[in-house]
Structures are given as C-alpha cells and as structure tokens.
C-alpha cells in the first residue's frame, strides 16, 4: 500500500521548517566564527545538529523541496546580528528562538528532534551565562545607573512642575538633581565595589602561609585546620592536607578555587560608569527645559523622551537576564511612569496647599 501524498499545507510547512533549520545552522556557524576553543566547538556541533534536522525535512519533501525559502523574520534578524556582533545579546536571542520550537506539537517532527531543540536551548543558555558572567561590574553599573537617572530625575522634574513653580526653577532643580544623583551613585558604587574587593582580599590566603606549607610538621598536619575552616569534614580535611604535603613543592594549594576579583571590577571604573550613565539618563527629562519649552508641552516631551529611553534600557536588561525583552521593557516603562506620576500628583497637592 503506497503512502498517502502530503497535502499542499504540509509541504509548505515542511519547506518553512527546512528554511528555518538552514538559517539557524548558519547563525551558529557565524557565532562559532567569533569564538575559540570549547565554545567554538559547541556552536559548530549545534550547527551540525540543525543540519540533521534539515535532512529530516528534506527526506519528507523528496522531490518537493523546490526553490530555497528564507527563514522566518526573527531567525534572519538573528543571523544579521550574529554576523555583525556575535555577543551575549545574540546568544540570549538564540536561546529564546530555541524555546519557541514548534516541533513538540508537530506530528511530523520526531521525538528526538523535539528533545534536541530543548537541549539546544539549555546549551545556549549556558553559553549566554558565560558571557553574562564575563560582563564586568562596570557595564552592569552603567545600565542600571542610566535607568535610575531616568526615573529619579523625571519624578523630580514632574513633582516640581506640578507645584506650579517657574520654568527656571524646574530647570535648576533638574540640573541639581542630576548632579546630586550622579555624585551619589558614583560614590555609592565606589564604596560598594571597593568594599567587596577588600572582603575578597581579606578572604584570600596569605602568600606567606603558602610558603610555610613545606615547613609544616607532617605528623601534626595543621594544614588540615585550614580546610576544616573552609567547610570540609574532619576526614576530608585530613585527606586533603596529607595529599598536599605528599605532593610538595606546590605553588597554589591554598589558593581559592576561583578568582572573583575580575568579575567584581574596579571601584573607580564602576564609580565613573555610574556617574556618567546616571547623568546621561538624568539629563533627558531636563532637555525640554534646556531648549526653552515650558508648561505641559515640556512635561509631555520629557515624559515621551524618558519613556523611549526606559524601553531601551528595559530591552537591554531583558536580554542580559535572558528574560523576555519586551515584557521587561514594558515593566520598566510602567515603573518609571508610575513613580513619576505619583510624584507629579504630590507636587500638585503641595503646590495647591502652598
């Protein structure tokens, strides 16, 4: 009994799957071209897996493959970004693309293909996590500093405007809020990062203690106390200390497993980024007043400009966190407008009372 011929709708869907798999494989190869070592090999293996999926649809189509189609618009945009940037942002987008696979509900896709797509999402998630971990504290301080500047100074400007003061007072207040907030953010970030680095340094083994290891009394084995203080059990500490003493000379046996200083960043770098990006966000609500706009026109322009900026920072935060960028952007917008609206209403109330 001959197999029933697929419908035109099936052929169209299979051809689109074929195009999408081809486009996704190209994305992974482009990303691999900007990586080295293990990450490059992982991305190339993902591209090979997409090639196997591509072959599945080719086999189903047979002579109906026809002219090559283009991948869906999201995959094509992802390909352009991969060729231009190849950054953690592209990996985050690729992660979301893998989670949108329709194979789980398509009877023509095999269970192995469905499982592949789910595992691919986890692989990309892990690669993106590596990239996020490599992002310095300076970059994170920059993104969140800009967002704080946008929200706090818009709220300040709207609150003062609601009280009914003159345009000049609003402008001076906005500029004062910009400088005060930027200096406060910079100082706070410096103290935070500096304190964190000092805590890490205080927790790092002293080089003199490492040098003393080779002179320890082997029978007393006091090195075991170090490992017990780090959380090992009595037996584990004795075994570890005995191994270290047996393998002398050694260089870094007492060193911590990972060096966290690099991920923390420098105090001055984080402070400078916080100051600059808070100021760059805080200046936006002031721009209409700097250009001479007044009253409700200035308020409306400031609100629109800040809204656009909040959407941009929300998209960046969403991509960095691996969450849905649009949802995060709308959340940022709602929080920013909510804070500014509440302050404006307070300004109206106090202004009317005065």
Write out 52-88 in H/E/C secondary structure: HHHHHHHHHHHHHCCCCCCCCHHHHHHHHHHHHCCCH
Question: What is the residue-wise DSSP string for 148-164?
Answer: HHHHHHHHHHHHHHHTT
Q: In this predicted structure, what is the pLDDT of residue 132?
A: 65
More confident residue, 235 or 246: 235
State the pLDDT confidence band at 284, using cuts at 50, 70 and 90: very high
Closest CA to 306 of 290, 325, 287, 321: 287
Which residues neighbour 311 within 8 Å (Cβ) at sequence distance 6 or greater?
Answer: 329, 330, 332, 333
User: Residue 308 above 90 pLDDT?
Assistant: yes
Phi, psi of 252 (to 5 degrees): -130, 35
User: Residue 79 above 70 pLDDT?
Assistant: no
State the pLDDT confidence band at 223, using cuts at 50, 70 and 90: low
Half-sphere exposure of 4 (CA within 13 A, CB side): 4
User: Residue 47 above 90 pLDDT?
Assistant: no
Q: In this predicted structure, what is the pLDDT of residue 314?
A: 83
State the pLDDT confidence band at 256, using cuts at 50, 70 and 90: very low
Q: In this predicted structure, what is the pLDDT of residue 208?
A: 47
State the pLDDT confidence band at 258, using cuts at 50, 70 and 90: very low
User: Residue 199 above 80 pLDDT?
Assistant: no
Q: How do residues 291-302 score in pLDDT, each as one tens digit?
A: 888 888 888 999
Structure tokens at 40: 């490059």
Query: Within the chain, where are the H helices?
Result: 8-32, 37-61, 73-84, 88-99, 111-134, 137-162, 167-203, 207-212, 223-229, 234-246, 261-264, 267-282, 287-290, 295-321, 325-353
Structure tokens at 9: 């709708």
Q: In this predicted structure, what is the pLDDT of residue 3?
A: 58
Q: In this predicted structure, what is the pLDDT of residue 32?
A: 83
Q: Which of 155-164, 193-202, 253-262, 303-312 has the lowest mean pLDDT?
A: 253-262
Q: State mean pLDDT over 262-280.
A: 73
This prediction's pTM: 0.57
State the pLDDT confidence band at 19, using cuts at 50, 70 and 90: confident
Radius of gyration over alpha carbons of the chain, in Å?
A: 29
Structure tokens at 124: 């990309």
Structure tokens at 31: 């990303």
Closest CA to 99 of 116, 86, 84, 83: 116
CB 87 within 8 A of CB 135: no
Which residues neighbour 225 within 8 Å (Cβ) at sequence distance 6 or greater?
Answer: 237
- Quote the DSSP letter at residue 4: P
Please provide the distance, in angstroms rounded to a whole number, between the alpha carbons at the two ends of the chain: 91
The full length of the chain comes to 354
Closest CA to 14 of 114, 108, 116, 97: 108
Tell me: cis bond preceding 244? Omega within 30 of 0 counts.
Answer: no
More confident residue, 82 or 295: 295
What's the CA gap between 279 and 138, in Å, rounded? Answer: 15
Which residues neighbour 338 within 8 Å (Cβ) at sequence distance 6 or greater?
Answer: none
Q: In this predicted structure, what is the pLDDT of residue 261?
A: 43
User: Residue 86 above 80 pLDDT?
Assistant: no
């Amino acid at each position: 009994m001959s197999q029933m011929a697929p419908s035109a709708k099936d052929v169209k869907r299979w051809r689109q799957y074929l195009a999408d798999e081809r486009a996704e494989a190209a994305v992974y190869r482009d990303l691999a071209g900007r990586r080295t070592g293990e990450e490059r090999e992982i991305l190339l293996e993902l591209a090979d897996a997409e090639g196997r999926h591509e072959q599945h649809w080719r086999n189903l189509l047979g002579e109906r493959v026809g002219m090559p189609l283009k991948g869906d618009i999201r995959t094509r945009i992802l390909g352009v970004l991969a060729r231009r940037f190849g950054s953690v942002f592209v990996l985050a987008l690729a992660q979301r693309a893998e989670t949108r696979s329709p194979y789980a509900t398509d009877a023509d896709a095999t269970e192995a293909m469905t499982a592949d797509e789910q595992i691919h999402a986890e692989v990309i998630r892990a690669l993106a996590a590596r990239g996020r971990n490599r992002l310095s504290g300076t970059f994170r301080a920059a993104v969140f500093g800009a967002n704080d500047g946008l929200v706090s100074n818009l709220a300040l400007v709207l609150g003062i405007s609601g009280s009914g003061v003159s345009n000049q007072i609003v402008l001076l207040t906005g500029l004062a809020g910009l400088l005060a907030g930027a200096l406060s953010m910079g100082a706070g970030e410096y103290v935070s990062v500096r304190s964190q680095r000092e805590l890490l340094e205080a927790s790092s083994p002293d080089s003199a203690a490492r040098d003393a290891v080779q002179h320890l009394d082997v029978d007393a084995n006091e090195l075991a106390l170090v490992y017990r203080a780090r959380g090992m059990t009595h037996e584990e500490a004795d075994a570890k200390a005995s191994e270290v003493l047996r393998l002398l000379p050694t260089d870094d046996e007492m060193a911590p497993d990972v060096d966290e200083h690099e991920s923390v960043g420098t105090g001055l770098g984080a402070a400078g980024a916080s100051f600059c990006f808070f100021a760059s966000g805080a200046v936006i609500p002031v721009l209409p007043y700097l250009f001479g706009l007044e009253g409700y026109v200035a308020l409306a322009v400031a609100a629109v400009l800040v809204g656009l900026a909040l959407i941009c920072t929300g998209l960046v935060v969403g991509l960095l966190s691996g969450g849905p960028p649009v949802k995060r952007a709308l959340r940022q917008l709602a929080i920013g407008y909510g804070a500014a609206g509440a302050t404006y209403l307070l300004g109206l109330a106090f202004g009317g009372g005065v």
